[in-house]
Amino acid sequence: MKRVSIPNMNDLGFKMLGILDLVSSNKDKNIITQEIEDYLKELMSMVAQNNILNSINLIDRVVETGEKTPTGMYKQFHVSSLELFDQTKLLLKVFQIVDYDRANMKYILSEDMTFIDFKKVSKIY
């Protein structure tokens, strides 16, 4: 598993102050544009990595996406793990819940594994 380092918010704040200083000193616009692009990329990476850390709590939880079964019930999925693609797209590895075993207090899961985009999750239980 790849180790993820999260940028320090103070570092990003100081970078933004540096960019504002460049803008106020009327420096070369190409330099300013590049500094802003680098800052935004770093900020986007930090947000994505923070989402991953928060999403770890979803493992072994039940989620819904708003999809319905043919009987009109909302589909529910058990989250077994997470996968990150291109440091921006977080996918949940899930199995659909097909029933509940009351005697053993366990979900009965479909054998078919699927992936759900984290952005499509509408409810978390």
Domain count, the chain: 2
Query: Which residues, in sequence order, are bridge partners of residue 90?
Result: 84
65 and 115: one domain? yes
Q: Is residue 116 over pLDDT 90?
A: yes
The packing angle between helices 9-24 and 29-55, to 10°, is: 160
Q: What is the mean pLDDT of residues 84-104?
A: 88
Sign of CA dihedral 21, 22, 23, 26: positive
49 and 79: one domain? no
Q: Is residue 64 over pLDDT 90?
A: yes
Is 78 among the domain residues? yes
pLDDT band at 75 (very low <50, low <70, confident <90, very high): very high
Domain of 92, in residue numbers: 59-124
Is 3 among the domain residues? no
35 and 82: one domain? no
